[in-house]
A and B are shown apart, each in its own frame.
Chain A
Amino acid sequence: MMKFRFRRQGADPQREKLKQELFAFHKTVEHGFPNQPSALAFDPELRIMAIGTRSGAVKIYGAPGVEFTGLHRDAATVTQMHFLPGQGRVLTLLDDDSLHLWEIVHHDGCAHLEEAIHFQAPSRPGFDGASGLPSLAHITVVLLVAAGDMAALGTEGGSIFFLDVPTLTLLEGQTLGPDEVLRSVPDDYRCGKALGPVESLQGHLRDPTKILIGYSRGLLVIWNQAARCAERIFLGNQQLESVCWERSGHTVVSSHSDGSYAIWAADTGDSPTAQPTVATTPYGPFPCKAINKVLWRSCASGEHFVIFSGGMPRASYGDRHCVSVLQAETLVTLDFTSRVIDFFTVHSTRPEDEFDEPQALAVLLEEELVVLDLQTPGWPAVPAPYLAPLHSSAITCSAHVANVPAKLWARIVSAGEQQSPQPASGASSWPITGGRNLAQEPSQRGLLLTGHEDGTVRFWDASGVALRPLYKLCTAGLFQTDCEHADSLAQAAEDDWPPFRKVGCFDPYSDDPRLGVQKVALCKYTAQMVVAGTAGQVLVLELSDTPAEQTVGVASLDLLQDREGFTWKGHERLSPRLGPLPWPAGFQPRALVQCLPPAAVTAVTLHAEWGLVAFGTSHGFGLFDYLRRSPVLARCTLHPSDSLAMEGPLSRVKSLKKSLRQSFRRIRKSRASGKKRTVAGSKLQEANAQLAEQAGPQDVEVTPVQRRIEPRSADDSLSGVVRCLYFADTFLRDAAHHGPTMWAGTNSGSVFAYALEVPAAVAGGEKRPERAVEAVLGKEVQLMHRAPVVAIAVLDGRGRPLPEPYEASRDLAQAPDMQGGHAVLIASEEQFKVFTLPKVSAKTKFKLTAHEGCRVRKVALATFASVACEDYTETCLACLTNLGDVHVFSVPGLRPQVHYACIRKEDISGIASCVFTRHGQGFYLISPSEFERFSLSARNITEPLCSLDVRWPRGATHIRHPRAT
């Protein structure tokens, strides 16, 4: 019956309807940390946080699962964001001087973020020219006054404009020019100099008529907008960076470009005040960098907090990214690995409260968000339930595991809890809790695994909207690496001043590029996994709930198989640490296989039921029996003329990257030591410098772009790269007997199929008897179009892909039809083909490249459930092309079903990072730190569904100054 349906062509209305019930394309949610953040805001009433980015994105986060995303029409940098407290509205300022009002509105019970209105500051010089007032160009600061109904805009010219927020219209006649302020200033302070740009505008919590204005030159003015007069004037003489007005209004703190901050008494003394009560340079006496922002937070204990960013001694620590927290005698210098964008405290904002009582400090950095609990002694960091820094080390590969059994899930979570110093009670102490997540509990647990450049594999909970870190596996401990942490040793020798504390987990510096994880596979039933890396290391691990000390068995496998005439010029293999090593609870290594030559592993697969792991590199593939710890098979796939593959990693991008990394490290070291480093230009650097120069655009000849039309020949370089490996229990010998098989596909369109002789397990026992596994080459297929083979899958008699190991034997999946009639689906970069088994003859095919001119980048078999009928599902082939389009094909008929534009075709790293799930979803990187999640299924969609209790004064928006009157 299936076949009958598949054979139907084209516009069958019934099929079209079914397609609509099965397939739909949505980009649902962005996981991870926003790329290039540029602005931060917090609404203490709704307890939601907004992050703006340099590409004009607005992201609002509340409780886990509560997320909103918006994008400005123009890709301009968001420089400032201000919440209208309690209203679910946020005012954004872009670097093109436009203001945008965003609203969280509810449709069908679910909240969405929409842009309501925007305002472009008229930047023509002639604006207001008649009155002699300066133009509203270059807005430097924005202050919302009167509960957000009015905004004060400070400008570069020193004027302050007022804007009606609900309509975003300028309030004429209220503009405050610098001249008006200067009238209240003594003559000797004026001395003909301008006040400079408005650097800071602060409102008063209890008296909305008062505004604290800070000018760049240093003058601070408390302006009464109602009376239009200066109430107090502080004659600062140091160039101003920021101002904070304490909640009672008695104290003003100003921070300055010389690394000092000053405290001014606002309730006593004469006006104008010439001197601050206290002026201090916390990291003096040597010249310091500017303190960019300062906060003053009062506590009932009387020991207030002063929190500021910057101010580090210019010579010794000028390159550090620091936020200092000072309370009474306690000073902690939070030392971050990336630039500080902004920070806020979560504290009481009710006007009736006497003190701020800050609960938490949130610091937005270029690469991560760090939240500290200020109420717990020691101010520990609070693990974030979202905004996961996916890129804390560069992502090198990813894999998705669907339908994770509850038992394994609990074990991974428990291993993760033992790992992090604080049990993941993050949900309770996480201060940003606004909104309600309306999404249903995910029906199944999905695990996203990311392999990283530093040799770690991170486990993420990808079941819902918030991507939550669960567990981190570190493989570096097994190896002796080139450079042990020299930096940390150097740091220990440093003085105790300033009291640095490393915070955050973003660490882009990998110690040894060979540690990089290339491929990951996990068996979710046995909790065994394989991690394969850049230096040909293949590590078999098993989850253990208790720490253990053990020796890891090491084996090496020569994939060249005595081929002569080749020399490996790439990196050496990693040297494993011998002897018993302590391993914490979690995944612990059981066996290590090192491929020779130590080229990066390009494919890996695991069959826990048979105790076998298969792996491939650019030279060949191997099969390893990890139960007996013995190699079963090694096969060289090199073409005799392919000498390039032998010489090691070719990518000059990589070597450039490496040299960049090295030079970064050198810079850090040289700055830390303060010594002038000797210029020791190695040959490698010289070569890299030359390469970089060659790549420069100035040297590129201006020739019209042309493409050579030539078919692939057998001796193309890297033809031996093993692209995919696959285990299946199927018919390879004859149509009567099925048995274990292993399949390997190469870059040049070769497929090797081996029949495996796996000794049967003793009844009831998990372990195999101690007999060797044997592998015999059964079939060899050379695809005549010679395109790289990207995937292989065996379909059972009903045309369905075989279940995963253990799935059928543990009754977790429908048992496959083992009566025969199996077929193998071979997907190359150019076409898909289904061949019958055991006699490999072509049955169906689809030539994608010949028809569409696009090439296959990623494929996966996925099960699509119908929205109309609970039980109806179809298994299809999902395919991502080099043009960034996603196509879905029926299986085994290979008829095109639907296709959607998904990724920009220029976004090569996005396309390369794409991973499909087994239920018709997918992930790809939209930046080094963010995964976009998309869904091809009409039924299986993971998107934010949330609500927010906004107090949105719809009718009241036109009443001005509701509190001032």
Chain B
Amino acid sequence: AEEPWVGRRFGAEFRRFSLDRQKPGRFEDFYKLVVHTHHIANTEVTIGYADVHGDLLPINNDDNFCKAVSSANPLLRVFIQKREEAEHCSFGAGSLSRRRRPLALREDGPRRRTHLHIGLPHDFRPVSSIIDVDIIPETHRRVRLYRHGCQKPLGFYIRDGTSVRVAPQGLEKVPGVFISRMVPGGLAESTGLLAVDDEVLEVNGIEVAGKTLDQVTDMMIANSHNLIVTVKPANQRNNVVRGSRASGSSGRSSDSTASRHSLPAAHVLQNLPPDEMESDEEADVVLEGVLEPRLAPRPPPGSLTRVNGAGLAPSLHSPGREGSVQRLLSSLRSDPRHSLALPPGGVEEHGPAVTL
């Protein structure tokens, strides 16, 4: 299914074969088929596939194999990598958009993991996490919502309200912003970490006190790719009860999904200025066109998109040692509508790059 130029670029090769969509069979057979087709029987490889969101997800058991085949529409792109290489770039949604600048923390991380194989659950995508439990008051909760690649809406509404604060003179009423509604089936509801009438205290580390509802709305939307909300839950019964400091690990940040990049973020929030906080920031997509106007025939009006389409290849000219697949995916992923699931005709018509 892949266009040949991708292969040349990445020193990889491509094979195309068909599977019975209704009865894909077992993973083991599939693995053998892959290894055989590529003549790589001696190498340990991991197999992954690109799902409809453009995320690279693993195929390592019958269940996710079935899931992968069922998601093919009509093609399934399967990626095969050497196992040691693959370890450097973990699967999952975050893998595609992570900041390329390596954090110091990460340098020695993967190596250890390869030996221990105590790792992150590879076949899950992080959805939310509670972070910074060690630095914020027990009555507050700092929740991080991961929305990348997720089709679900964030799914909540906020409203104005009044909250009661303890002041030197006694209790005083101050204006506040509260969660007013959860959209059923939305990301916020599905995490269970936010609830109606929770008071919003901070958005991505910036206090909302003194800001209007519209300002808070704009701040949340501007941070929606990596939204960190500090709330004071209306229901205070489920708070984390901290043990004594001496108990060590209980004072550490807990992370409900143990996503690997939530750890740096937890520290970032307290240590770094806000600007450096977006370790997960999605980079803007830049596409280059062919810039040889005299050589290229002048495109007739209406087919300018073709110029653009041809320009995809140079954009990928400097893949890093790792993450090249992710880069390709991430650029393709930027518009889900035109991602891998598109029928070939659609791609032809618009040119693959037009929609990026």
B311 & A850 in contact (Cβ 8 Å cutoff) = no
Q: Which of A707, A714, A782, A783 contacts B337 (CB 8 A)?
A: A714
Name the B residues within 8 Å of A704 (CB-CB).
159-160, 180
**Shortest Cβ gap from A893 to chain B (Å):** 12
A715→B335 CA distance, assembly (Å): 10
A711 close to B285 (CB less than 8 A): no
Whether B332 sits at the interface, judged by CB under 8 Å, is no
Q: Which of chain B's residues have a CB closer than 8 A to the CB of A640? A: 337
A732 at the interface (CB under 8 A from B): yes
CB-defined contacts of A778 to chain B, threshold 8 Å? 288-289, 291
In the complex, chain A residues whose CB is within 8 Å of the CB of B288: 778-780
Bound-state CA distance A705–B161 (Å) is 10
* Contact (Cβ within 8 A) B291 A755: yes
User: Which of B211, B220, B282 makes the CB contact (< 8 A) with A709?
Assistant: B220
A784/B224 in contact, CB under 8 A: no
Residue-by-residue, is B196-220 near A (CB-CB < 8 Å gives 1, otherwise 0)?
A: 0000000010101001111111111
- The complex places the Cα of A755 from the Cα of B225 at a distance, in Å, of 32
* Contacts of B251-309 to chain A: CB distance below 8 A: 274-275, 281-294, 296, 298, 301-302, 304, 307-308
Cα of A714 to Cα of B285 in the assembled complex, Å: 14
Say yes or no: is A578 at the interface (Cβ < 8 Å to chain B): no
Considering residues B219, B296, B334, which has the most beta carbons from chain A within 10 angstroms of its beta carbon? B219
- A776/B284 contact (C-beta < 8 A), A707-B217, A714-B337, A853-B218 known: no
Check A781–B291 contact: CB distance below 8 A.
no
Cα A732 to Cα B308 in complex, Å, equals 15
Is there an interface contact between A710 and B221, defined as CB atoms closer than 8 Å? yes
- B158→A706 contact, CB < 8 A: yes
A572 within 8 A of B: no
Which residues of the other chain, B, contact A840 by a CB distance below 8 angstroms? 286
A704-B180, A781-B286, A782-B284 as given contacts; A851 in contact with B213, CB under 8 Å: no
Q: How far is the CA of A785 from the CA of B282 in the complex (A)?
A: 8
Q: Please indicate the chain A residues that have their CB under 8 angstroms from the CB of B180 in the complex.
A: 704, 706
Residue from B212, B222, B302 in contact with A561 in the complex, judged by beta carbons closer than 8 Å: B302
How many Å lie between the Cα of A707 and that of B206 in the bound state?
19
Is B153's CB under 8 angstroms from A710's CB? yes
The answer for the CA separation of A626 and B335 in the assembled complex, in Å, is 37
CA distance A86 to B227 in the complex (A): 67
Residues of chain B lying within 8 A (CB to CB) of residue A633: 304
**Chain B residues with Cβ under 8 A from A757's Cβ?**
293-294
The one of A631, A707, A781 in contact with B284, judged by C-beta atoms closer than 8 angstroms, is: A781
Residues of B within 8 A of A634 (CB): 301
In whole angstroms, how far apart are the Cα atoms of A677 and B212 in the complex?
50
User: Does A830 sit within 8 A of B, measured CB to CB?
Assistant: yes
**A777 at interface, CB cutoff 8 A:** yes
Q: Is A883 among interface residues, defined by CB-CB distance under 8 A? A: yes
Minimum C-beta distance from A935 to chain B (A): 27
**How does the 8 Å CB contact mask read for A70-114 relative to B, with 1 for contact and 0 for none?**
000000000000000000000000000000000000000000000
B218 in complex: contacting residue of A706, A710, A849, CB < 8 Å: A849
Assess A830 versus B283: contact at CB under 8 Å? Given A850-B204, A854-B215: no
Instruction: Provide the residues of chain B in CB contact with A710, threshold 8 Å.
Output: 153-155, 221, 224
Q: Is B356 an interface residue (CB 8 A)?
A: yes
Contact A784 B213 (CB under 8 A): no
Min Cβ gap A794→B in Å is 16
Chain B residues closer than 8 Å to A562, beta-carbon distance: 302
Q: Are B293 and A774 in contact (CB under 8 A)?
A: yes
Contact between A708 and B291 (Cβ–Cβ < 8 Å)?
no
Answer whether residue A842 sits at the interface, using C-beta atoms and an 8 A cutoff: yes
Task: Determine how close the nearest CB of chain B comes to the CB of A641; give it in whole angstroms.
Answer: 8
Known: A733-B291, A776-B290, A853-B216. A709 touches B156 (CB 8 A): yes
User: Considering only CB atoms, which chain B residue lies closest to A826 in the complex?
Assistant: B284
CB-contacts of B140-161 with A (<8 A): 147, 153-160
Any chain B CB within 8 A of the CB of A671? no
Partner of A706 from the list B157, B219, B281, B304 (CB cut-off 8 Å) is B157
A801 to B: closest C-beta gap in Å? 21
Neighbouring B residues of A883 by C-beta, 8 Å: 215
Residue from B147, B156, B213, B293 whose CB has the most chain A CB atoms within 10 Å: B293
Query: Which residues in A have their C-beta under 8 angstroms from that of B287?
Result: 779-782
Q: Are B224 and A711 in contact (CB under 8 A)?
A: yes
List, in ascending order, chain B residues with CB within 8 A of A232's CB: none
Tell me if B353 counts as interface (CB < 8 A to partner A): yes
B223 at the interface (CB under 8 A from A): yes
Alpha-carbon distance between A708 and B274 when the two chains are bound, in angstroms: 24
| Smallest CB separation, B295 vs chain A (Å) | 10
Please give, as numbers and ranges, the residues of chain B lying within 8 Å of A715 by CB-CB distance. 337
| Contacts known (A710-B154, A714-B337); A777 close to B308, Cβ less than 8 A | yes
A774-B298, A776-B296 in contact; A782/B334 too (CB < 8 A)? yes
B216 with A784: CB separation less than 8 A: no
The interface residues of chain B lying within 8 Å CB-to-CB of A708 are 157, 217
A784 touches B160 (CB 8 A): no
B159 near A784 (CB under 8 angstroms)? Answer: no
**A732 touching B291, Cβ below 8 Å:** yes
Counting CB contacts under 8 A, is A607 at the interface?
no
Whether A777 contacts B160 in the complex (CB less than 8 A), given A711-B225, A782-B285, A851-B274, comes out as no
Contact A847 B289, beta carbon cutoff 8 Å: no
Check A855 for interface membership: any CB of B closer than 8 A.
Answer: yes
The distance from the CB of A928 to the nearest CB of chain B, in whole angstroms, is 25
Q: Are B222 and A849 in contact (CB under 8 A)?
A: yes
B181 within 8 A of partner (CB): yes
In the complex, A852→B308 CA distance in Å?
37
Contacts of A787 in B (CB 8 A): 222
> How many Å lie between the Cα of A780 and that of B134 in the bound state?
44
Bound-state CA distance A18–B102 (Å) is 37
Asked if A628 is at the interface (CB within 8 A of a chain B CB), the reply is no
Q: How far is the CA of A351 from the CA of B155 in the complex (A)?
A: 81
**What residue in chain B is nearest A831 (Cβ atoms)?**
B222
Per-position 1/0 for A497-532, Cβ under 8 A of B = 000000000000000000000000000000000000
Using CB atoms, name the residue of chain B closest to A704.
Answer: B159
Contacts of B275 in A (CB 8 A): 847
Q: How far is the CB of A468 from chain B (nearest CB, A)?
A: 40
Q: Tell me whether A830 and B296 are in contact (CB under 8 A).
A: no
- Chain A residue numbers with a CB within 8 Å of B334 are 782, 784
A633, A777, A883 — most chain B CB neighbours (10 Å): A777
- One digit per residue, 1 when the CB lies within 8 angstroms of any chain A CB and 0 when it does not, for chain B 168-199 equals 00000000000011000000000000000000
How far in angstroms is the closest Cβ of chain A from B195?
14
Residues of A within 8 A of B353 (CB): 780
Cβ-neighbour of A830 out of B158, B222, B308 (below 8 A): B222
Enumerate A719-768 residues with CB–CB distance to B below 8 Å.
732-734, 755, 757
Residue of B nearest to A905 (CB): B212
Chain B contacts for A635, CB-based, 8 A: 304
Most chain B CB atoms below 10 A, which of A779, A851, A853: A853
Which residues between 354 and 397 of chain A lie within 8 Å of chain B, taking CB atoms?
none
Binary B-proximity of A407-424 (CB < 8 A = 1, otherwise 0):
000000000000000000
The chain A residue with its CB closest to the CB of B273 is: A9
Contact A785 B213 (CB under 8 A): no
B282 touches A776 (CB 8 A): no
Most central of B215, B219, B222, B291 by chain A CB within 10 Å:
B222
B81 to chain A, nearest CB (A): 26
Q: In whole angstroms, how far apart are the Cα atoms of A715 and B215 in the complex?
A: 23
**Contact B158 A709, beta carbon cutoff 8 Å:** yes
Q: How far is the CA of A561 from the CA of B303 in the complex (A)?
A: 8
Taking a contact as CB atoms under 8 Å apart, the answer to whether B159 and A780 are in contact is no
**Residues of chain A in range 827-867 having any CB-CB distance to chain B below 8 Å:** 830-831, 833, 840-842, 847, 849-855
A710-B153, A710-B155, A849-B218 given; 11 more Cβ-contact pairs under 8 Å: A641-B337, A706-B159, A732-B291, A774-B298, A778-B289, A779-B288, A780-B288, A780-B308, A780-B356, A782-B285, A849-B221
Interface CB pairs A-B, < 8 A, 7: A778-B288, A778-B289, A840-B286, A847-B275, A850-B274, A853-B208, A853-B212
Interchain residue pairs A-B with the least CB separation, the first 6: A853-B215, A711-B224, A849-B222, A707-B217, A777-B289, A784-B282
